[in-house]
Amino acid sequence: MKTIAIQSIKGGTAKTTTSVHLASGILEQEPEARILLIDSDQQSSLRTYFRISTKENSADLSEFLLENRPYQDCVIPVEFGAENKRKKIDVIISNKRIADAEMKLFVLPRREELLRLRFKQQNLAANYDYVIFDCPPTLNLVTYNVLLASDYFIIPCSMDMFSVVGVKSVIENLDAVAQVFDVRPKVLGVLPTIYDGRNNFNKEMLEQIKVVFAHLGVFEPIRIDVKIKRAQIKNMSVFEYDSECNAAKDYGQFAIAVLSALNQDQVQSSKTQAVSSGSFNRAPAEVHSEVRSLRGSL
């Protein structure tokens, strides 16, 4: 089982859209893959995307996390896509109760590792090939639980300075957790999103992002495309809505790139293995310096 977190400290970077389309893109390549999408944000964007009624949900992430509720009670099977090509994904949603869970976690032992413990206790690895987390744009105990339960991270980055700083914040937190817990999820790369190639500023930002985060790896950008929103209205991914549109092509190539990275030997190595000094871990001062340079060049 491979666990992947889609995380950015800035809102509006297409985290939910990327989570859904990574899952859908994997199914394009591996139709039999068993995928679990987990929403760790109280805004519950995945519930909105898949039009999940509250009545359908007997339990949610907070109960799985705090009460060790069987994951079968929390999972909601969803189908989406065109009628002749339905895709099946399991979803665990969050809601406002996840904020209450945050307070309750403070008094528990190993509070940052509880989600990872639940995965092991309930043997999710026997039932899923991929778990994908849609993360909130915040750093709290729930987020740290996701961080420690994840094998890999993907960091969406829209074409603005605040999003670039958000990427830097994610990396700094990965570094801090690595020092305390001696584990570190592998960063598969930064994903430029909401990219408009007709806009000179977007072109400049993309080139700077490739320079500043070259040590992390930068995926090809996801171009801005109104058909993403149209697909959401139809309860589809863009692959079913219009397989020839820019977003479908971009997310398709992104999913292929992620699967390729997951299959590489250097990415498959244990996350407890020491991270080499030049791979993902650079001195924060170095990244700060490059971000300042980016500000000055735009």
Give the whole-angstrom CA distance, residue 41 versus residue 43. Answer: 5
Compute how many other C-beta atoms are within 10 angstroms of the C-beta atom of residue 149: 25
Give the whole-angstrom CA distance, residue 287 versus residue 98. Answer: 33
* Structural contact between residues 177 and 148, judged by C-beta atoms closer than 8 angstroms: yes
Give the whole-angstrom CA distance, residue 228 versus residue 233. Answer: 9
Instruction: Convert the chain into a string of H (helix), E (strand) and C (coil).
Output: CEEEEECCCCCCCCHHHHHHHHHHHHHHHCCCCCEEEEECCCCCHHHHHCCCCHHHCCCCHHHHHHHCCCHHHHCEEEEECCCCCCEEEEEECCCCHHHHHHHHHCCCCCHHHHHHHHHHHCCHHHCCCEEEEECCCCCCHHHHHHHHHCCEEEEEEECCHHHHHHHHHHHHHHHHHHHHHCCCCEEEEEEEECECCCCHHHHHHHHHHHHHCCCCCECCCCECCHHHHHHHHCCCCHHHHCCCCHHHHHHHHHHHHHHHHHHCHHHHCCCCCCCCCCCCCCCHHHHHHHHHHHHHHC
Q: What is the dihedral of CA 165, 168, 170, 176, to 10 degrees?
A: -130
Q: What is the dihedral of CA 114, 118, 124, 129, to 10 degrees?
A: -10
Domain boundaries, the chain: 2-297
* Structural contact between residues 24 and 239, judged by C-beta atoms closer than 8 angstroms: yes
pLDDT of residue 104: 84
In tens digits, the chain (298 residues) has pLDDT values of: 999 999 998 889 999 999 999 999 999 999 999 999 999 988 888 999 998 886 654 689 999 999 999 999 999 999 887 676 788 999 999 887 887 787 788 878 788 899 999 999 999 999 999 999 999 888 888 889 999 999 999 999 999 999 999 999 999 988 888 888 888 789 999 999 999 999 999 999 999 999 999 999 999 999 999 999 999 988 889 999 999 999 999 999 999 999 999 998 344 554 444 343 334 444 445 555 555 556 555 5
What Rg value do the Cα atoms of the chain yield, rounded? 18
Closest CA to 266 of 191, 153, 188: 188
What pTM was computed for the model? 0.87
pLDDT of residue 265: 39
Architecture of domain 2-297: 3-Layer(aba) Sandwich (3.40)
pLDDT of residue 95: 81
pLDDT of residue 273: 47
pLDDT of residue 271: 44
pLDDT of residue 59: 85
pLDDT of residue 290: 58
Instruction: Convert 190-258 into a string of H (helix), E (strand) and C (coil).
Output: EEEECECCCCHHHHHHHHHHHHHCCCCCECCCCECCHHHHHHHHCCCCHHHHCCCCHHHHHHHHHHHHH
- Residue at 230: amino acid letter: R
